[in-house]
Amino acid sequence: MAFVAALFFSSLLTLSVSSPGHALSMNYYHKTCPNAEMIVANTVKTATRKDNTVPAALLRMHFHDCFLRGCDGSVLLNSKGNNKAEKDAPPNGSLHAFFVIDSAKKQIEALCPGVVSCADILAFAARDAIVLSGGPTWDVPKGRKDGRTSKASETAQLPTPTFNISQLQQSFSQRGLSLDDLAALLGGHTLGFAHCSSFESRLNTNNVDPTINPTFAQHLRNICPIKNKAKNAGATMDPSSTTFDNTYYKLILQQKSLFSSDQALLTHPKTKGLVYKFATSRKAFREAFVKSMIKMSSITGGQEVRKDCRVVN
């Protein structure tokens, strides 16, 4: 998306979309912590004023959380002893803004100790990130529990920016998400920044990716030279990288998307049709994104409400 490279895959983990025994609800904290969402929103807003990359970071963090063990806050856990946690694995190396979740959790714990999960706080923060970037708002279903397991090794199953459409489709379907959800959720790539390593394989002059605009490819080669590359060299996901809009889809049609996995949306009739639809209708994209975000963020998997988002109870 900076939810930068990767939307996320694992056939080995058992996930449920809010099973009846652990159903999410809109009024889950209505009596126990009614100010929780307001606290998160204000915390995200304050952080974004100081650093406009925070919204993209929070959205990407939420995706990376949900796609491994369900939306259980496992991405927030620190490594401990011999266990290397998800956040310290290479695919998550550029995740940041964990301090936003920590700050909101600390304020909420002071008011309603042991009530609001870190997973819910992250889901609220991702929604607030979209709103602050000019995107739509929605009611986030509540009542997720926090997981007690976080393994760096599991992030090896996250998809890469080089995934083709069948790999993406498999990844999403394993979490109960459709091609419609895939096309809508990848639109989150309208926000953020990607390092050269995420897309430079497309720039090889000896084996040119035919799906990338030649002028755009040369522009990216200038940013990401083979020699003497700047340490954090990369490119914004689209020219309006802090604004939630439908530019992402327009760029795909111009063959100017950064990732081959984004361009791959044109290789399936269903997703190709949705790219055209979202490129021409901002309203259609916003509505589809909200629907798919609610669906994705309702994949549950935790067991407790952590007191500290970085450590299990």
The answer to the question of whether 200 is labelled as a binding residue is no
Was 262 annotated as part of a binding site?
A: no
Q: Could you give phi then psi for residue 304, rounded to 5 degrees?
A: -145, 175
Quick one: 146 exposed, middle or buried, by C-beta within 10 A (0-12, 13-18, 19+)? buried
74 assigned binding-site residue: yes
Angle, vertex CA 89, rays to CA 167 and CA 259, nearest 5: 40
Distance between CA 94 and CA 80 in Å, rounded? Answer: 20
Q: How far apart are CA 3 and CA 58, in angstroms?
A: 8
Q: Is 64 a catalytic residue?
A: yes
What's the CA gap between 268 and 49, in Å, rounded? 40
Catalytic residue among 64, 96, 195, 268: 64
Q: Tokens standing for 311?
A: 């450590």
Query: If residue 97 lies in a helix (H) or strand (E), which one and from where to where?
Result: none
CA distances from 122 to 41, 93, 99, 251, 307 (A): 11, 18, 11, 29, 14
The answer to whether the annotation marks 242 as part of a ligand binding site is no
**Residue 181 near residue 31, CB atoms below 8 Å:** no
Check the annotation: does 91 bind a ligand: no
Tokens of 51: 């650093």
Q: Is 109 annotated as a binding residue?
A: no
Query: Is 86 annotated for ligand binding?
Result: yes
257 assigned ligand-binding residue: no
DSSP-derived pairing of the beta strands 193-195 and 234-236: antiparallel
Residue 268 assigned to a binding site: no
Residue 258, Cα to own-chain centre: how many angstroms? Answer: 16
Tell me: is residue 187 an annotated ligand-binding position: no
Binding site listing: 65, 70, 72, 74, 86, 159, 189-190, 238, 245
Annotated binding site for substrate: which residue ranges?
159
- Residues making up the annotated binding site for Ca(2+) are 65, 70, 72, 74, 86, 190, 238, 245
Please identify every residue annotated as catalytic. 64
Where is the binding site for heme b, in residues? 189
